[in-house]
Amino acid sequence: MKKSIVVLAALAGFTYLQSCNSSTSESEDMNMSMSEEEMMEGDAGSSENAENTSEAMYSETAYISEFPLADTIIKYSSEGRLNAKLTDEMARNANMLVENLGADASVLQYGEGVIVALDQGNVFESDQFTLNDNSKDILRRLAFNLKQMPDTYILVAGRADKDGAADHNDELAYKRAAMAANYLHGCGIPEDRFFVDSYGEKYPDYRNDSRLNKGKNRRVDFLIIPSNSLREQLAEL
């Protein structure tokens, strides 16, 4: 995982703003600024050893291996009573996501964070970052859920198969994440909730040994975590 988390800059600078009902433009500006500090500024009680108070007990090692975004949840989780409140709140959000997205995405709650992985394939063509009709449909449904949970941040992580050079795949995956974030913004999600990152060809969930598996590795994953304001609200209860 990259050490710095990328902040989605003002999308007004884009040459074309993607909306929920418009076609994708490949000429969009993918320049985004980085700031891990801005993302978590003001978070109280940050700890790398988050206490898991949910009913289901998970293996940190297993989840980090399968979904590297889980490592980010561990880094920014709180402790004790606040962690329990945030975990319960995110569990409700995860249930809504499962009901709405169905089999089109994998939804995983890990403590205070929820991961939505578009790992069912048919999201991006080989060496492309434009959204197809299937990915747009999923993102529109995801946007519906994100509107129901306004006090959250969304980290969008692009991923790629292993075809081509590693540097190229890292840039390609970043563009995929930026394209997805821009589309969600066009669906009405405020730009200041987004952070964008790229895993490139690293941490493949599927062996890059078939066309089907490569298609599942060409995707974006979303990490949804509580915002600073939600942490403050629950800490006062």
Q: Starting from the edge strand earliest in sequence, which strands make up the sheet with 194-200, in order?
A: 33-34, 6-7, 194-200, 152-159, 219-226, 113-117, 106-110
pLDDT 10s digits, 165-213:
999 999 999 999 999 999 999 999 999 999 999 999 998 888 888 999 9
Sorted by sequence, the CB contacts under 8 Å of residue 18 that are 6+ apart come out as 24, 25, 28, 179, 182, 183, 185, 186
- Is the predicted pLDDT of residue 226 greater than 60, yes or no? yes
Rounded to whole angstroms, the Cα distance separating 22 from 154 reads 22
Q: Between 54 and 153, name the one with better pLDDT.
A: 153
Per DSSP, 26 falls in state T
How much is the average pLDDT of 81-90?
88
Rounded to whole angstroms, the Cα distance separating 54 from 127 reads 40
The per-residue pLDDT for 57 is 41
The per-residue pLDDT for 81 is 76
Q: What percent of the chain has pLDDT over 70?
A: 69
70-97 CB burial, b ≥16 within 10 A, e <16:
bbbbbebbbeeebbbbbbebbbebbeeb
Contact between 229 and 86 under an 8 Å Cβ cutoff? The reply is no
Rounded to 10°, the helix 133-148/166-186 angle is: 60
Q: Which two tokens stand for residue 185?
A: 């913004």
The per-residue pLDDT for 68 is 72
End-to-end CA distance of the chain: 34
Domains of the chain: residue spans and CATH: 6-236 (3.30.1330.60)
Contact between 65 and 108 under an 8 Å Cβ cutoff? The reply is no
Confidence of residue 51 (pLDDT cuts 50, 70, 90): very low
User: What's this model's pTM, rounded to 2 decimal places?
Assistant: 0.70
Confidence of residue 19 (pLDDT cuts 50, 70, 90): low
Sorted by sequence, the CB contacts under 8 Å of residue 97 that are 6+ apart come out as 105, 107, 114, 116, 142, 145
Place of tokens 């969930």: 205
